[in-house]
Amino acid sequence: MTITVIGSKGGQLATSLMNLKDHRLKFLGRPVFDFTDEASFQSVFADGKPELLVNTAAWTAVDAAEEHVKEANQVNRDGPAALAKLCAEHDVPLIHVSTDYVFAGDKGAPYVEEDPVSPQTVYGRSKAEGEAAILAAQPKSIILRTAWVYSGHGKNFVRTMINAGAKNPVLRVVSDQIGNPTSSDDLAWVIMQIADKVLKDGWQDSHSGIYHAVGTGDASWYDLAVYALKEAEVFGHKMPEVQAIDTASWPTPAKRPQDSRLNTDKLHRVFQLRFPRWEESTKKAVKEICSV
Ligand SMILES: NC(=O)c1ccc[n+]([C@@H]2O[C@H](COP(=O)([O-])OP(=O)(O)OC[C@H]3O[C@@H](n4cnc5c(N)ncnc54)[C@H](OP(=O)(O)O)[C@@H]3O)[C@@H](O)[C@H]2O)c1
């Protein structure tokens, strides 16, 4: 019984899945499989049919996507749609990962899965269109929308803050954007819980669709930075002064949602799954970062 994961050790989520050391997981990433290389799609079923496919790969450079529309669409929309079509042809269920950036961030309350998408960026639009294309091509798909992903490995906000704090006495961090910090290790665990259920019980049509899958509790980037830096202090890192700034003081090419909190009740209702609180998981990630 195998589960093919699209993604390689350059990816945060793929690495979290690799760290589980589950012998059923087989990883397929660049250069063998590349969403921009149609011929490489043959590699997905080259060694036989997996029981399930998990796609962790994406164009995640949110700002660069504004200038690379074609590439972002290829990796986040057209490639995953072609993969979903292939899964449908082989009758293989698909778990795919999407983002809170499909929303504008102006609801003023946590988004539920039924809220209409309203992406404000090339990245968000490519992911939103990817979701729709996947569900149209392979109804046996589960799409997990996550957000603010960090881990003890790879490039992420928590690591960036710890590195920046080691070099600078003062850090300025945006405090008027809120969301749900999510550990990629926790997301990997949730993916495997869902995979196990699908493999054990068989596919159920009621499972098809979109789920919000983020850490429990919300925070601003400022809150997350201060929490991570205080934890890093325990490991001998200097605590810099952290100044709260507003979004206007930190302009980026791609507009960030002001409030992209996601309601995760559906994940709990359907799969009885809940993520740990973000503080608990941030503590673990900081420990990993500081122990290297
Ligand atoms: N990071 C976040 O804060 C965040 C927030 C919301 C949603 N998400 C979603 O969560 C999922 C996992 O994100 P992550 O944090 O693990 O991302 P990541 O660390 O940036 O990794 C992206 C992965 O995608 C692969 N990839 C990129 N272009 C590819 C292509 N053309 N063909 C095949 N593989 C390609 C990369 O391969 P290489 O190793 O070869 O570069 C890498 O393994 C993605 O769907 C992302 O959209 C992430």
Instruction: Report pTM.
Output: 0.97
Listed by start position, the domains of the chain span: 3-155+181-215+260-276
**Distance of CA 163 from the midpoint of ligand 1 (Å):** 22
Determine whether the shortest distance from the Cβ of 37 to ligand 1 is under 6 A: no
Secondary structure percentages of the chain, helix, strand, coil, to 5: 45, 15, 40
Kindly give the number of the ligand 1 atom that is closest to the alpha carbon of 31.
Answer: 40
For 211-222, write each residue's pLDDT tens digit.
999 999 999 999
Domain 3-155+181-215+260-276 is in which class? alpha beta
**152-161: pLDDT as tens digits:** 998 999 999 9
Digit-coded pLDDT (tens) for 189-213:
999 999 999 999 999 999 999 999 9
Q: What distance in Å separates the CA atoms of residue 94 and residue 2, rounded to the nearest whole number?
A: 13
Cα angle vertex 290, ends 288, 292, to 5°?
Answer: 75
Q: Which residues are catalytic?
A: 123
Q: Is the CB of 148 under 6 A from ligand 1?
A: yes
Name the residue at shortest CA distance from atom 5 of ligand 1. 147
Residue among 222, 198, 201, 218 nearest 262 (CA): 218
User: Mind listing the pLDDT tens digit for each residue in 66-122?
Assistant: 999 999 999 999 999 999 999 999 999 999 999 999 999 999 999 999 999 999 999
pLDDT confidence band for 292 (50 / 70 / 90)? confident
Burial class (CB in 10 A: 0-12, 13-18, 19+), 47: exposed
Q: Is the CB of 82 under 6 A from ligand 1?
A: no
By three-state DSSP, how is residue 262 classified?
strand
Q: What is the pLDDT of residues 39-52, one digit of tens each?
A: 999 999 988 899 99
Q: What is the mean pLDDT of residues 168-196?
A: 97
